[in-house]
């Protein structure tokens, strides 16, 4: 989680829009760490947990919804 947040901050620091994508199980960790890094409003998309036991079709649906949410965050 921390590495992903730092990557987003690094890209944003280079004026390149970025979005953290993580499992919803890490919501609280993302909130705490982004505040600790001084960026509480960092763009993030949390996908429904768990991931590993989903079928290919379920993963494709999850990915389609995530892409829509990522684009929305980037355009925000």
The model's pLDDT over 17-69, given as tens digits with 9 standing for 90+, comes to 999 999 999 999 999 999 998 999 899 999 999 999 999 999 999 999 999 99
Give yes or no for a contact between 42 and 20, defined as CB atoms under 8 angstroms apart.
yes
* pLDDT level of residue 1 (50, 70, 90 thresholds): low
C-alpha 3 chain-centroid distance: 12
Going through the chain in order, the beta strands assigned E by DSSP cover 20-23, 44-47
pTM of the full structure: 0.82
Report whether 1 contacts 29 (CB < 8 A): yes
């Amino acid at each position: 989680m921390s590495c992903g947040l730092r990557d987003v901050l690094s890209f944003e620091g280079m004026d390149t829009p970025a979005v953290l994508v993580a499992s919803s199980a890490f919501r609280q960790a993302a909130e705490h760490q982004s505040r600790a890094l001084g960026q509480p409003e960092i763009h993030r998309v949390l996908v429904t947990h768990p991931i590993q036991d989903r079928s290919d079709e379920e993963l494709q649906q999850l990915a389609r919804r995530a892409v829509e949410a990522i684009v929305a965050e980037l355009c925000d």
